[in-house]
Amino acid sequence: MNSKLYPLLVGLVLVLLSYGTYLALTNGVSKTTFSFVRVEASDSPVTLPVVSTENFVPGEPARIDSEESHVQETQTIVAVPDATHVTVARLDHPHDGAVIGTEGGPQGFTIVDWTPLSRMLNAPAPTESTMGEVQRIFYYHVPAATCAYTLFFINFIASILYLWKRSAKADMWAAISAEVGLVFSTVVLITGPIWGRVAWNTWWAWEPRLTTFLILWLLYVSYLVLRRSAEAGSSSVLAAALAVFAFLDVPFSYMANRFRGHHPPPITLEDPRMKFALMINMLAFLAFAGLIVWFRYQLEKTDRQIAAIHIERATRGVMISMAFPAIFFFQVRQNLNPVHYLYAAYIAAWVIYIGYLLLLMRKVARLRREEEELLDS
Amino acid sequence: MSSSLLKLTAVNIAKDLRLEWRSRDVFNSMLFFAVLVVVIFSFSFEPTVDESRRMAGGLFWVAFLFSTIVALNQSWARELRNGVLDAYRISPSAPEALFLGKCLGNFIFVALLECLMVPLFVLFYNLSSVGPVWQLLLVLLLGTWGLVINGTFFAAMSIRTRNRELMLPLLLLPVSIPAVATMVEATKDVLTGEASPVPHIKFLAVYCVVFTAASFLLFETVLNAE
């Protein structure tokens, strides 16, 4: 282990994680407004009557209308004359709010002050307009899912490599990526329902992505159980064969659930600051996952070295148990406070990450003890 | 497929069937288990005709999934006695023949069980199909093959572990969830006649092809795992 590089990397990842969490949790100012008029395309500046011009800055680009309307365009804000008018440089398309028009009410379309990248560094994500605060769970949920998928893919590649070359290194990578991937997918499976409780009014929906993840989680639990209970010597081969089956099963589990009803609306990130917060968190968690894998790899290496000398005491497993406070299940809809759910999801995510790291620490302590005993004797 | 492979497969199937015919260990426990599941479900739910059309698919496949596991646990354990499996491993015969023989043998047991259980289901749940029944036959064939192929493979894997009987469902169920969910949906679609089961049947066919191929490719590795 390169001992000088390691603390530096840990520091860097911690900084990235806190920065990402800051961007995700701090309430960014709202820069989205609505206009309820019909406008035609025009080459000269157009002044649009809007609901509010709070936080709109002249000179910044504005994204007009929603993506589904097919007439979305980006124009520069020339001036903000008063609290209810915005002037844009020109309009390439007519807008009548046909797509997001409220039922029975006036037809409207959105105007978003599109924060430029140069000002993004200190621009936390604003609250999403339809889902509210609870949408912020997304910034932890999606990176965790990406990490889990990446790690499971690494597991598949390593397993194939092991079946082909029978290298102990590939087997080690397979074991580690499955274990760390399981930690990240546990986070996905816990933050998902917390979000669903508020957004869909139900903890669980048999929705393709969710179900696929649950099956994936079950598959890799059985993978780790197999690794730990197979006859000595055969566990690597059997586990590698199971990994191939697990990988083949993913597209099937996605398709099998496509036939079922319940499709939640896809999440559209309506503000560039949301995309930025997601990007930073994605980067932070991928780096975090990489760091854990690296750490776990060194640990596994030491473990195997010790095991080689000291076989009979080296197999004790890390079991990932999760306890879900049952009280959550008895909440009624009227009392839902999205902010509580938001914090519950963030805390649950960290409880799992830190819990896993503590388990690893315990393993380190055990290995150290064994090492000392071996050196003494 | 060479003729020696076919001959070996036939020998394996014949051996399994003969053993089963003499002892009837597996088939009797499977049959009794499935009957119990049907009776217990029927006690607990007491569905009306419409409800039972909706539910029967789920009950039917759950009953078969569990009784298949009962059968599969026995199918390889039998080979461990007197070191039969080790003898097979050092013999020059193709491991694929052994696997294919086991799969077909198990398929015959489960199919026979289904033939006996279907009338019982019709009787207990007062079933009548709205959709065409021949589609149900297709679902049964593909569904049983899907269960048996993965089941035989994972049973071969689980005999290499410490807690054999416990490991098989742990390994088999997660991989089979998509297939079981599809079989249930397809059966429901045929019985209620509300939707076409054809996409589900296609799905099952693809599932069977993919997992049959994967099992045959990996069986030798698992058999010789050291």
* pLDDT value, residue A322: 36
What are the backbone angles phi and psi of residue A256, rounded to the nearest 5°? Answer: -60, -30
* ipTM higher than the 0.95 cut: no
| Test the B interface: residue of A152, A166, A207, A238 with most B CBs within 10 Å | A238
User: What confidence category does residue A337 fall into, taking pLDDT thresholds of 50, 70 and 90?
Assistant: confident
**Stated pTM of the model:** 0.80
Terminal CA-CA length for chain B: 28
* pLDDT value, residue B188: 87
**Does the beta carbon of A230 lie under 8 angstroms from any beta carbon of chain B?**
yes
Q: Which residues pair with A112 in a beta bridge?
A: A32, A63
What would the mean pLDDT of A107-133 be, rounded to a whole number? Answer: 73
Contact call for residues A85 and A52 (beta carbons, < 8 A):
no
3-state secondary structure A197-223: HHHCCCCCCCCHHHHHHHHHHHHHHHH
pLDDT at A124 over 60: yes
Contact B199 A259 (CB under 8 A): yes
d(CA B194, CA A7): 62
- Of these ranges, A125-129, A268-272, B115-119, B147-151, the one predicted with the greatest mean pLDDT is B147-151
What would the mean pLDDT of A127-138 be, rounded to a whole number? Answer: 76
**Does the beta carbon of A234 lie under 8 angstroms from any beta carbon of chain B?**
yes
Nearest to A253 among B178, B185, B199 (CB): B178
Q: What is the pLDDT of residues A45-66, one digit of tens each?
A: 888 888 777 777 777 888 887 7
* pLDDT value, residue A192: 86
Among residues of chain A, what percentage have pLDDT more than 70? Answer: 84
In sequence order, the 6+-apart residues with CB closer than 8 A to the CB of A235 are: A226, A227, A228
User: What confidence category does residue A130 fall into, taking pLDDT thresholds of 50, 70 and 90?
Assistant: low
Q: Which of residues 203-222 of A touch B (CB under 8 A)?
A: 215, 218-219, 221-222
**Does the beta carbon of A315 lie under 8 angstroms from any beta carbon of chain B?**
no
Q: Which residue is it, tokens 């799905």? A: B203
User: What confidence category does residue A129 fall into, taking pLDDT thresholds of 50, 70 and 90?
Assistant: low
Q: What is the mean pLDDT of chain A?
A: 79
What would the mean pLDDT of A280-286 be, rounded to a whole number? Answer: 90
Contact A226 B157 (CB under 8 A): yes
Q: Which of A107-116, A151-160, A216-225, A323-332 has the lowest mean pLDDT?
A: A323-332
pLDDT at A112 over 70: yes
Among residues of chain B, what percentage have pLDDT more than 70? Answer: 99
What would the mean pLDDT of A174-190 be, rounded to a whole number? Answer: 92
What would the mean pLDDT of A353-364 be, rounded to a whole number? Answer: 88
Contact A238 B179 (CB under 8 A): no
Q: What is the pLDDT of residues A220-267, one digit of tens each?
A: 999 998 988 877 778 889 999 999 999 998 888 878 766 555 545 555
Distance from CA of B63 to the nearest CA of A (A): 20
Which ranges of B46-94 would DSSP assign to H, the alpha helix? Answer: 49-80, 84-90
Q: Which of residues 100-139 of A touch B (CB under 8 A)?
A: none
Residues of chain B contacting residue A171, judged by C-beta atoms under 8 Å apart: none
Residues of chain B where predicted confidence (pLDDT) is lower than 70: 1-2
